[in-house]
Structure 1
Amino acid sequence: MTIHVPLITPFDADNEIAYRVLTQVAQETLLAGAGLVALGTTAEAASLSAAERRNVLDLLSDHSEGDLIAGADTPDQLRSLNGKARAALTLVPPFIRPGEDGVVEHFRTLAASSPVPMIVYHVPQRTGQALSADAIRRLAAIDGVIGIKYATGAVDADLVDLLADPPDDFDVFCGDDIFLAPMLAMGAAGAIAASAHIETAAFVDLAAHREPTLARRLARLSKVLFSQPNPIVVKAALHAAGRIPTPGVRPPLLPAAAPSLYGSLLE
């Protein structure tokens, strides 16, 4: 079982990327036993320029020790990962709501030309597109689709169905941090967890040992960290601990009103 941390993008006082700090956060994450995810939602990837995306990808590729997953949703973005990431985290098409058949065909088309394997990012609160367990099994049957980040906001019937009879060679990752413990108990491969910026080693330990007291404590932590749109509180906590230079986020996000209050979230 594995924990991957979708890294924030730290900004300096001028709202520019603090690349040296990003390197340090990445190194601390790896030392704690977790893998890295670049250019995900937590990274505010949509607010980065094309040049910033390239710089972040290059930096994290150089420091990932070969265990980098990177967000990529288009053919051009997928091609940019060649030689830099071991897998792509690819969003179910948002807003369009193409139906399950459309989603399957979309991933079949992308996978046919992608230079790296793909992990489906299933987050219907953002995309508007539901997927049944049957549709996920159809996705798993596509050559080059190796897993799913499952973030439906619930431990739902389709998740139970999927994990009761999981596809071969296909990893199901928890994408809703607060549900990590129950998903691990049902057989999930691990998590892509923004909360694991905080107490990274504890999340790694939970994935390995599934200790109930630790599970309850980390669930409470995750609830607080997601009490405002991600990554607002994560950044506030990291800044309060002196790990990043500012708690700043880019529009349309707004920073936490009192970021110093979140220092108590860190040991």
Structure 2
Amino acid sequence: MLSGIYVPLITPFDESGAVAYAALEKLAASVLDQGAAGLVALGTTGEPSALSAAERRTVVAICGEAARSYGAQLIVGDLQLVEGATAALVTVPAFVRPGERGVIAHFEHLAERSQVPLVIYHIPYRTGQPLTAAVLRRLGEHPMIAGVKYATGSVDQDAVALLGEAPSGFSVLTGDDVYLSPMLALGASGGILASAHLHTSSFVSMAASWDRALGHRLAAMSATLFAEPNPTVLKGVLHAKGLIPTPDVRLPLVPATAESVARALDWGA
């Protein structure tokens, strides 16, 4: 079962625009040093659609080596690059809106052919396809579907229903950083959280022993990091702290404004 805090690593870039692989290694080691249960390589926070095939392979290799050295887990957002991974993070099919029966058929088809268990990425405000708790429970009964990254933009009735009666061994991980605290209170087993690049140990403590006051503080920080499209503010903060060489992102993203980065830096743990 997947539990704890998983950090979907950014992809840092150097002054020439190339991937800063050494900085990625250091970020991976830093969050694992602070107790993260695992890494997510090529999640949306890592800008995978803007990376070349060679860059994606190298990013996965670096994250895999870090995970192995710490005895941690690795989730990969690319079904073609899952060798040695714990699981693959796969979104609900976007744009086509296949309906719930189509989503079930799609994931069962993938699960029966995948080398590793799947984690469903349920983010309906991007995919256009909402799913009920009943559909997620059915998918969770498949032996090759390990869990769901639940990111509906709220703590909704389906989250309550799913967490109240999740299939055995099926992990519900929150994907909305600001809702970590209420989702843990309802029974989520952890989260896949971009905000956990910062103050990772506090997020780990939160997942291990729910603390309402700490949850409020972490939610406030997370809100500042998502003031502009992810991961632009996060990269600005990491650069300001000297953890990555530039705050750069690749198109269609553009760097966060100085004001948003300053507000995030002003947040105090």
- TM bin (shorter chain): over 0.9
Q: Which residue of 2 aligns with 1:21?
A: 23
User: Residue 68 of structure 1 aligns to a residue in which SS?
Assistant: strand
Q: How many angstroms does 1:67 deviate by?
A: 1.0
Q: Which residue of 1 aligns with 2:189?
A: 189
Q: Is the 8 A contact 2:233 2:261 kept in 1?
A: no
The CA distance in 2 between the partners of 1:124 and 1:19, in whole Å, is 32
Matched to 1:70, the amino acid is V
Structure 2 residue ranges without an equivalent (≥5)? none
* Counterparts in 2 of 1:260 and 1:132: CA distance versus 1, 3 Å: closer
* Counterparts in 2 of 1:110 and 1:260: CA distance versus 1, 3 Å: closer
TM-score scaled to structure 2, two decimals? 0.94
1:149 is the counterpart of 2:149: yes
* Counterparts in 2 of 1:41 and 1:266: CA distance versus 1, 3 Å: farther
Deviations 1:135-182 (A, max 9, x none): 101111222001000000010011111111111110000010100000
Q: Which residue of 1 aligns with 2:55?
A: 52
Counterpart of 1:264 (choices 250, 255, 266) is 266
The CA distance in 1 between the partners of 2:43 and 2:80, in whole Å, is 17
- Show structure 1 runs of 4+ deviating over 2 A: 262-267
The CA distance in 1 between the partners of 2:239 and 2:100, in whole Å, is 41
The CA distance in 2 between the partners of 1:70 and 1:265, in whole Å, is 31
Q: How many angstroms does 1:263 deviate by?
A: 3.3
**Residues 87-126 of structure 1 aligned to structure 2 (within 5 Å):** 87-126=87-126
- Size of the aligned set, in residue pairs, is 261
1:42 is the counterpart of 2:45: yes
Q: How many angstroms does 1:260 deviate by?
A: 5.8
Structure 1 residue ranges without an equivalent (≥5)? 73-77
User: Residue 173 of structure 1 aligns to a residue in which SS?
Assistant: strand
The CA distance in 1 between the partners of 2:162 and 2:249, in whole Å, is 36
Deviations 1:29-54 (A, max 9, x none): 10000021100000001111111101
TM-score scaled to structure 1, two decimals? 0.95
The CA distance in 2 between the partners of 1:143 and 1:102, in whole Å, is 19
Counterpart of 1:70 (choices 62, 72, 76) is 76
Q: How many angstroms does 1:213 deviate by?
A: 1.3
* Counterparts in 2 of 1:252 and 1:266: CA distance versus 1, 3 Å: farther
- State the superposition RMSD in angstroms: 1.3
Matched to 1:263, the amino acid is L
Q: Is the 8 A contact 1:199 1:266 kept in 2?
A: no
Question: Percent identity over the alignment?
Answer: 51
Matched to 2:8, the amino acid is P
